Amino acid sequence: MKISYNADASIIRPAHTPKKSEEMIAIEEFIGSENQNICFEYDDEDTARKKRNNIATHARRGGLAVKALLRDNKVIVIRNEKKIENE
């Protein structure tokens, strides 16, 4: 084992930051707009169900005031005006 101090810091990679999906980028733009809803259409219901779950999780963790609804092969995201407070 070799230990060294004041090593070259250029070899250190930055921390991993997850890449945002196209849906999350679109939802963030939607929040800043005047639109009432946004709809994502997928090839099949299974893909739509997985994407809806991902969107709902990211919205909840990120504190976004949106609600994701599943209709056939579409995910509809609407503004959620009600604030849910944990007691």
| Cα(85)–Cα(65) distance, integer angstroms | 12
Q: How confident is the model at residue 49 (pLDDT cuts 50, 70, 90)?
A: very high
Residue 18: predicted pLDDT:
72
Confidence of residue 8 (pLDDT cuts 50, 70, 90): confident
CA distance 13 to 49: 35
Q: Bridge-partner residues for 75, per DSSP?
A: 40, 70
**Mean pLDDT, rounded, for 11-25:** 77
Distance, CA of 26 to CA of 17 (rounded, Å):
19
Supply the pTM of this predicted model: 0.70
Q: What is the pLDDT of residue 47?
A: 94
Say if residue 74's pLDDT is above 70.
yes
